[in-house]
Structure formats: C-alpha cells, structure tokens
Structure 1
Amino acid sequence: MTTTPDPSPTARPPIGVTAIGTVHNERPDPADTDHWGEVESTILVEARFGDRCLTGLDGFSHVEVVFSFDRLPERDDYRPLLRPRGRADLPEVGVFADRGPRRPNRIGCTVCAVVSAEGRELRVRGLDAVTGTPVLDIKPVMRQFLPDSVRQPAWVDRLMAEYF
C-alpha cells in the first residue's frame, strides 16, 4: 500500500467553529475530574437558534454533547506516549487512545442522559464539562449509530472506576 504524505497543516484551510451554547452547573474547576455521573448540567442554547430549537429532543433518552476543552492548552508535542491521567499503573498510549482534555483541537464529546428539554434549555446528567464550557453541537443518540458491542483494554475499567 502506498501512502502519500499529509499536507502540512499550514496548507490546509482553517476550520472555524462557533459555540451553539454554554454549560451551566456546579462544577467550576477543570482539575476536579471525577464523579460526573450524577452531575446535572443545563446547556443554554444561544438565542439565534430560537425558542423551539430543542423541540423533539425530550423524546430521546440520551444526547451526545460536543464541547470545547477551552480552559486547558493543547500539548506542545503529541508524539510521546503518555500514561492516562499520569497514572503509573496504566500503560503508555498514544494521543488517540486516550480521551483526556489536552488533545488536538481540545474537542470533547460525551453521551449523557436527557433530563429535560424546554425552550433553549437542555438539562442533562453525566456531562463531564465544567460551568462556562462552550458547547459546539448537540446530537440525539440513536441506536442505529451505536455499535452492537464495544471492545476495550482491561486498564480502561481501572481508569474510569471513579469517573462517572
């Protein structure tokens, strides 16, 4: 198989993204990274989408929230392997085998439970984003987009034991 080199990042056109809303909850500290499972957040969608932008979303049990890790800088160099969360008991992995916040483009995504959707306010449970976080998109979770089964290394269970 022949591969062609990737064009340099400067040769690619820039990608612009604008927040569609903001997270509001009781978690202000991005260093407070565990126990998100029962955290309820309100996503206030911007007025430009109108007061009916969430209509129909309350019929779904879950949404996928795409957001920006705007409080943390990207890493200077993504080539070195790192241990998730800096834990010595976990293996070294590449940047794309970890879901940490200091990642390329600082994009996060989490599937969380819908509590309510009314007007421009979406209440969710289990969103691991601090208050003030910009939301880039909200998508309903549909069975047809989910895999039948998920395989993951055993170390992930240790990593995530206290997360949600």
Structure 2
Amino acid sequence: METYEVESIATVVGGHTRAQDDYQGGVESIIRLHGTYPLEALQGIEDFSHLTVTWRFHLALPEDVQLHARSPRGNAHWPATGTFVHRNHRRPNQLAVSYPRLLKVEGRDLVVTDLDAVEGTPVLDLAPYFEQMGPRGVVRQPAWVGEMLDPCYWSDAASRSA
C-alpha cells in the first residue's frame, strides 16, 4: 500500500464551530491561503461562482474509521452500506470534498458560504468548479440519500434549535 504526505495549502477561518450532520447552509467562512503561496496563485479565481475544496476531518481520530457496512447515521430504516458509500469522517483517509459558493476574494482570504467544514479545518487543495467537469448524464442515487439530506443538510444554520 502506498502512502502520501500532503501539506495543507489553506485553513478554514470562522464559519461552523462544531461538526454536525445538518444545518450547514447560510454560514460564511474564509479559506485563508497560507503565506508560503504567492497571491498570484489565486489570480482569476474571483471570476468563478463556486470552488472545489478538498479538506481533512481534522477533529476525527484514527479510531473513528469504520471499515464495515452500517446504516447511515445509525438509522435502521436505511440500508447498511459499506464505508465507501458514506461521506463522513469514518473513511480511511478522513478526507472530504465540498463545493462552496465564492462570495469574494480579499488578498489571501476566499470568503465563501455553504462550506461544510469547521473552523481550523486544513484545506489540502482548492480549484474553481468547472461545470463541464461535473457529473455527466443523469445522476442516480438511492432514495435514502434524499431522505437523509434533503430535509435539513443545507438548511440555514441560524434556524437550528439549540
């Protein structure tokens, strides 16, 4: 098995303060590019509406990884599915990809909304989202995904009950 060493290129500043399953919407945060990268590395990014952000679940522990089939969110009404069918921190490399909306660029700061990472999250890579490189054809998924995510995942965080 090969291993790779990667370094973060940026850090999430502000935004969500704790990891949670739902109410990810309406929160602004900053993706702050590290000072080791020249500002020129961001030139032209402001022309895009969305970003592709690869980040690490930095609050997760190695022992959180679960390599067995289980029901999403522990809900027995949804089928047990394998580790690579889940999109959470229990995956082997504890990585995630998100597509936040880019609001503005201020120097090294990319101000975004709808980034489902928390304050302090290391960003491993970022790129503009190219519509032509998105999924081709009809997107298919089982009904349980919509049941799990549609009601609340992108609901405004301000509407979350304490």
TM-score (norm 1): 0.86
Residues paired across the two proteins, number: 151
The residue type equivalent to 2:78 in the other structure is L
Q: Which residue of 1 aligns with 2:90?
A: 102
Distance in 1 (alpha carbons) for counterparts of 2:49 and 2:15: 23
2:12 is aligned to 23
Contact 1:66 1:138 in 2 (8 A): yes
Contact 1:55/1:117 (8 A) holds in 2: no
Give 1:53 deviation, angstroms.
2.4
Deviations 1:23-61 (A, max 9, x none): 01242212x331112111101100111223222111111
TM-score, normalised by the number of residues in structure 2? 0.87
- Give 2:17's aligned amino acid: P
Alignment of 1:125 with 2:96, yes or no, is no
Residue by residue over 1:85-113, the C-alpha shift from the partner in whole angstroms, topping out at 9 and shown as x without a partner, is 21222111001111012211111111111
Q: 4+ residue stretches of structure 1 with deviation over 2 A? A: 74-77
Identity of aligned residues (%): 36
Q: Please, which runs of 5 or more residues in structure 2 have no aligned partner?
A: 155-162
Name which of structure 1's ranges 139-148 and 120-129 shifts more when overlaid on structure 2.
139-148
Compare CA radii of gyration and give the structure with the larger one: 1
2:157 maps to none
Q: Return the alpha-carbon distance in structure 1 between the equivalents of residues 72 and 14 of structure 2.
A: 26
Structure 1's 76 and 101: CA in aligned 2 closer, same or farther, altered over 3 A? closer
8 Å Cα contact 2:15/2:30 also seen in 1: no
- What amino acid is the match of 1:153? P
Match of 1:71 in 2: 59
